[in-house]
Chains A and B, each alone.
Chain A
């Protein structure tokens, strides 16, 4: 006879802390409200972004690079999934790849704002759902969303196609799921959070920090509620496995393709590849961190202590955890400097996650305030509204930034920023790229006929809408490209597309005379201030090209 101890369903579930197998009481689903919020913010950011990008010419080149890669995923000859590369987290490009299915949308730049607007709108939906769970009244919810949505930092990154909202939207969604889990104890929200974090991890590596903190929080809260070890372990495994899987997979890819399993960290465009990191003393870092919070997300100055107080004094572990998340988001920029994981230190955009997590913290405080929740939500609206002009003013002068100043100038003056300089002395605008792209589109029609270093000329490639015209470093990888670059005549190349100045363009390094317009064989057929298109004559024999020049690049 069997001695197996059979535990029937009722007895088995009696010892479980979480709600499993059935949906506990929760706010009712309101798809229409989520859809409306999503549609409103997508439309608003796309419309506004189109004005910013197309009329004001405020557009980040990184966005154009990712869109060019997305274009190559569909339209290269042959179509190249590997075009997503290792410079950006893979999903930062893959998730916008559907926008590049139609070339016309890309060349018109209409998809540039859309590439960030949809993710920003998704963030607003997640925040709205959180506020519903926090029982914040409808008008106040919308006021919070509008006040946050109109924040100039949010506006800049939601409307110019940048990748930051891609991962932040997913992190906010994950935090929203954990928010719901804490309220309902429904284990399904842990799974949702796990999946959201796994996508976020491949869209922005910073999200891994929030993922780790969340994993610890889940375990700690369950243990505090009296869950046994199996439940704690099973839940944490269920939460963590998607992220662990994607990171392991990506690491293996890096190992196989780049022979460095951690190239995704070291080669990332965010990491300290240039070695040109500014030196900060501890005091400077502290001050820079303070300024980042003060100008980018001043609301955090109130929310962080409030969360910590609620956590310790009122025994509110979720508030404490949100406080830790907020603290981590504040410390991350300086930690990246200390660990030399960035060559763009203390950028103002780092205030975005601080701002968003502050808002989530404020929502939780509103929920925890019970009768006072309306007052707390109203105070959040006031604080967000007040921070709009404050942050806008700071964007004009903040030392570490990308396009903040031109963006602020564009929306305050309504004038195109074409030709303006950023505070770190980069030129704003895309007229030069548009002109070169137009010339190519009108005069070239043969695939793989233009040899180019796509790492420098991606904006032109993207604006032609025809990545298949180009023989670039992605087509056959770097090795074959370098061979072809040394002797383009042998590879049936008609043109060389180069940067006019030596900014790291490998072709410009190889053929500096051609770039300067003084090469007898490689005649310039079209030139813009930033690019040169030189023709490669039949039987072209390169002279004076050495492997050393390429190797040094």
Chain B
């Protein structure tokens, strides 16, 4: 146990001016030294002497004691002596050192809140420690940890800056006035005109604007303005209300208007229709004139598709089994991150009829190892989902959570909601998590570090997905097997090969600016994630994998699973059709390797359609020895089909086993052996999705969450 000594001995102790012991100089991190004005400098009889500006301060005493695993004695020194010593040990970076004014403001805020009894010493200590790491405003930190409310902070700031406040809770805006400030400025400065006279605009702001910002605002408004401090949460809601129409328009039509050839609003292009009809006519004519030969030709083509898709997947998994292909980030590197340099991170969480999950979601996001003051969490709700919206409002979340209500319009899809949220995003990076997702706590930091490692053309980092309820039943175990293979083996190999990666539905981390540049997600595509992965590859960008996992809830009920999977398959075919509208353009953009990889990856959706046909033929032949079936598989086709049946099928079963072993999920290996039953379900879903592609192409088969045993 560390002991603290203060008092008479102090006068006999060495002083900081005698120099700082080399072994002690880095004993306390820079942030803490500067925040608490302390510096360890000497060791006497095993006791570390720490220079402190306020040697009697209980919080300072405790913070220092917790970081030095030896007896500690705080020795009073002047502020100048300590700052000089800190500067000598940690040469100051101009932008990172707190200015005297800022320090004064911080101390004033701390005193105001503690003296008025609004926060406890513990809360202050925690906030000060976070401040020492991040350098973020103390008030924001306290609000993010729910030590005080945003209203209290606004009141305190108003006192400090001697600014008037404005309450926006029940405010009905004059849209004409409010829109005098363009959306771009309103969003980036968090400011909204709330009233205007002929010569003055009253501007609600989240924080006092700087001189440059103020000049820009004045120019945009065309008149002088006066700032009124507002609650950030209320202000954010007001900005959304004022610009909702614009956001809705952009989220639906941006890709459609800027890159219509990449939008899935049309399922099959004219050229594709012509090609399909021609192929169908040729096959029908062939079937009439040369029925057997035509049938053999079709079987051969299907077998070839099977073979090459299987071989490609096998090759990928073998490569991943032999090497570690993900971008590696160690625990030490994460621990060494200077949080002052961490970027703002936007987390988009689409929610629909998931009110029950919201508290858990909030808990899990707050559990992320990332400063809350640098999180920009967008809870994306649909307008007609009043229950979820109300639940979020009831929770009175701190301002790093933003309730975003997407106006009701068609198509009502997850990508449209994400596009909507992206326009409001303030993060340099952004990521999508589903409501039930539980990412590894250090995932955001890993992604930030990974982005510094990967080549410049990497704009997306995909984390692995798996399931937390894999033990619930056979279906969830199979699902976990499948994800283990896909995310542990297939995607890392594709990433390493710089192939176009169909992104997973969540946990894909983007450079926000690049994502916007790409036109974000296609609201008409029901696997917008896969589509975006291909689109960014076509633009010359790449995706890398990181070794971090997000646990999701695996669908535990067959009908719900079928709905989800049918959407995925429909989306895969939709994506294939979109990008194959002009195969030559795709080829020229992705190169031959990328082109083949894309087609072979998407080909798996077609293989799922073929499976039941081949299984039926095999079963029929085993029981009837029907001659016509034998005729369909002459010579080499028979060998290829046999190899696929007996070797290929097992190889894929075993790759499921391998994926689970590779992940260390030893309990799943047994169920992996039964995965052919799972393939049956996959084919069922594939056919449902395929039929729906023609009957209801943009319909979003919503997956119901919260079916894991914990909800039972």
CB-nearest residue of chain B to A195: B654
Question: Does A190 sit within 8 A of B, measured CB to CB?
Answer: yes
Interface residues of A in 449-496 (CB under 8 A from B): none
Given contacts A21-B488, A191-B321, A238-B669, contact A2 B708 (CB under 8 A): yes
The answer to whether B663 and A6 touch across the interface, beta carbons within 8 angstroms, is: no
Question: Does B424 sit within 8 A of A, measured CB to CB?
Answer: no
Given contacts A21-B547, A23-B324, A81-B642, contact A242 B664 (CB under 8 A): no
Question: Does A30 sit within 8 A of B, measured CB to CB?
Answer: no
User: Contact flags (1/0) for B448-484 with A, using CB distance below 8 Å?
Assistant: 0000000000000000000011000000000000000
The answer to whether A78 and B635 touch across the interface, beta carbons within 8 angstroms, is: yes
CA distance A72 to B709 in the complex (A): 57
User: Contact flags (1/0) for B675-711 with A, using CB distance below 8 Å?
Assistant: 0000000000000000000000000000000101111
Chain B residues in 8 Å Cβ range of A2:
360, 706, 708, 710-711
Among the listed stretches A60-68, A203-211, A226-234, A351-359, which one makes contact with chain B, having 4 or more residues with CB under 8 Å of it? Answer: A226-234
CB-nearest residue of chain A to B488: A21
Given contacts A4-B708, A20-B662, contact A237 B673 (CB under 8 A): yes
Question: Does B660 sit within 8 A of A, measured CB to CB?
Answer: yes
CB-nearest residue of chain A to B650: A245
CB-nearest residue of chain A to B636: A79
CA distance A235 to B664 in the complex (A): 9
Question: Does B548 sit within 8 A of A, measured CB to CB?
Answer: yes
Write the nearest CB–CB distance from A85 to chain B, whole angstroms.
16
Interface of B is mostly: helix
CA distance A247 to B307 in the complex (A): 24
User: Contact flags (1/0) for B654-667 with A, using CB distance below 8 Å?
Assistant: 10011011111111
Given contacts A4-B709, A79-B635, contact A10 B666 (CB under 8 A): no
Chain A residues in 8 Å Cβ range of B440:
8-10
The answer to whether B639 and A241 touch across the interface, beta carbons within 8 angstroms, is: no
Chain A residues in 8 Å Cβ range of B710:
1-4
Write the nearest CB–CB distance from B197 to chain A, whole angstroms.
51
Q: Which of A23, A191, A234, A242 contacts B323 (CB 8 A)?
A: A23
The answer to whether A78 and B634 touch across the interface, beta carbons within 8 angstroms, is: yes
Q: Count of A residues near B, CB < 8 Å?
A: 38
Write the nearest CB–CB distance from A404 to chain B, whole angstroms.
36
Chain A residues in 8 Å Cβ range of B646:
249
Chain A residues in 8 Å Cβ range of B578:
none
Chain A residues in 8 Å Cβ range of B657:
191, 237-238, 241
The answer to whether A190 and B661 touch across the interface, beta carbons within 8 angstroms, is: yes
Question: Does A223 sit within 8 A of B, measured CB to CB?
Answer: no
Given contacts A1-B360, A4-B709, contact A238 B658 (CB under 8 A): yes
Interface residues of A in 1-59 (CB under 8 A from B): 1-4, 6-10, 12-13, 16, 18, 20-23
The answer to whether B321 and A22 touch across the interface, beta carbons within 8 angstroms, is: no
Question: Does A349 sit within 8 A of B, measured CB to CB?
Answer: no
CA distance A323 to B650 in the complex (A): 33
Interface residues of B in 312-347 (CB under 8 A from A): 321-324, 328, 331
Write the nearest CB–CB distance from A93 to chain B, whole angstroms.
14
The answer to whether B650 and A242 touch across the interface, beta carbons within 8 angstroms, is: yes
CB-nearest residue of chain B to A20: B664
CB-nearest residue of chain A to B323: A23
Question: Does A527 sit within 8 A of B, measured CB to CB?
Answer: no
The answer to whether B469 and A8 touch across the interface, beta carbons within 8 angstroms, is: no
Chain A residues in 8 Å Cβ range of B322:
188
Interface residues of A in 64-112 (CB under 8 A from B): 78-79, 81
Chain A residues in 8 Å Cβ range of B360:
1-2
Chain A residues in 8 Å Cβ range of B103:
none
CA distance A3 to B360 in the complex (A): 10
The answer to whether A241 and B654 touch across the interface, beta carbons within 8 angstroms, is: yes
CB-nearest residue of chain B to A244: B673
Question: Does B614 sit within 8 A of A, measured CB to CB?
Answer: no
Q: Which of A4, A6, A16, A242 contacts B654 (CB 8 A)?
A: A242
CB-nearest residue of chain A to B472: A4
Chain A residues in 8 Å Cβ range of B501:
none
Question: Does B39 sit within 8 A of A, measured CB to CB?
Answer: no
CA distance A256 to B360 in the complex (A): 55
Write the nearest CB–CB distance from A137 to chain B, whole angstroms.
26
Chain B residues in 8 Å Cβ range of A245:
650, 653-654
Chain B residues in 8 Å Cβ range of A16:
664, 666
CA distance A7 to B665 in the complex (A): 12
CA distance A18 to B673 in the complex (A): 21
CB-nearest residue of chain B to A73: B639
Question: Does B597 sit within 8 A of A, measured CB to CB?
Answer: no
Write the nearest CB–CB distance from B473 to chain A, whole angstroms.
13
The answer to whether A20 and B441 touch across the interface, beta carbons within 8 angstroms, is: no
The answer to whether B658 and A13 touch across the interface, beta carbons within 8 angstroms, is: no
Chain B residues in 8 Å Cβ range of A18:
664
The answer to whether A4 and B650 touch across the interface, beta carbons within 8 angstroms, is: no
With a 10 A CB-CB cut-off, give which of B322, B359, B658 has the most chain A CB atoms.
B658
CA distance A79 to B642 in the complex (A): 14
Question: Does A187 sit within 8 A of B, measured CB to CB?
Answer: yes
User: Contact flags (1/0) for B290-328 with A, using CB distance below 8 Å?
Assistant: 000000000000000000000000000000011110001
CA distance A12 to B470 in the complex (A): 14
CB-nearest residue of chain B to A190: B661
Chain B residues in 8 Å Cβ range of A188:
321-322, 658, 661-662
User: Contact flags (1/0) for B517-558 with A, using CB distance below 8 Å?
Assistant: 000000000000000000000000000000111010000000
Question: Does B438 sit within 8 A of A, measured CB to CB?
Answer: yes
The answer to whether B635 and A237 touch across the interface, beta carbons within 8 angstroms, is: no
CA distance A242 to B652 in the complex (A): 11
Question: Does B259 sit within 8 A of A, measured CB to CB?
Answer: no
CB-nearest residue of chain A to B655: A191
CA distance A231 to B665 in the complex (A): 8
CA distance A16 to B660 in the complex (A): 13
Chain A residues in 8 Å Cβ range of B469:
4
CA distance A274 to B524 in the complex (A): 72
CA distance A20 to B667 in the complex (A): 14
CA distance A420 to B639 in the complex (A): 41
Chain A residues in 8 Å Cβ range of B547:
21-22
CA distance A79 to B640 in the complex (A): 13
Chain A residues in 8 Å Cβ range of B381:
none
Given contacts A21-B488, A191-B321, contact A234 B708 (CB under 8 A): no
Listed by A's residue number, 30 A-B pairs whose Cβ atoms lie within 8 Å are A1-B360, A1-B710, A2-B360, A3-B710, A4-B468, A4-B469, A4-B708, A6-B468, A7-B468, A8-B440, A9-B549, A10-B440, A13-B664, A20-B661, A20-B663, A79-B635, A188-B321, A188-B322, A191-B321, A191-B654, A195-B654, A230-B666, A230-B667, A234-B665, A234-B670, A241-B657, A241-B673, A242-B654, A245-B653, A256-B622
Excluding A20-B663, A22-B547, A237-B670, 6 further A-B contacts by CB distance (< 8 Å) are A8-B438, A22-B328, A78-B635, A188-B321, A188-B658, A249-B646
